Amino acid sequence: MGRFADLLGDLGAETQYLIVTHSKRMMQAADLIYGVTMQEPGVSRVVSVKLGRREQQRATA
């Protein structure tokens, strides 16, 4: 992935991190992504996507 993403992956077993980014590389490394969307002017909505790939990768490693 990348050095920063690898570091966060290693440290993430003990600590939670909040990263504000538009980096595709960092979003690919995430377990959970939150975003804000505005489908109509003036109405914001928070959306979340739980990826859960880290647990699957650790279980198979």
Angle subtended at Cα 35 by Cα 50 and Cα 37, rounded to the nearest 5 degrees: 130
Given a cut of 50, whether residue 9 has pLDDT beyond it is yes
pTM, two decimals, is 0.58
Q: Which residue has the higher pLDDT, 1 or 36?
A: 36
- CB contact set of 53 (below 8 Å; sequence gap of 6+): 31
Q: How far apart are the first and last CA of the chain?
A: 16
Instruction: Report in angstroms the alpha-carbon separations of 9 from 1, 35, 37.
Output: 10, 21, 27
Q: How do residues 13-39 score in pLDDT, each as one tens digit?
A: 888 888 888 888 888 888 889 999 998
- pLDDT exceeding 90 applies to what percent of the chain? 23
Given a cut of 50, whether residue 60 has pLDDT beyond it is no
pLDDT of residue 44: 96
Dist CA 55 CA 36 (whole Å): 26
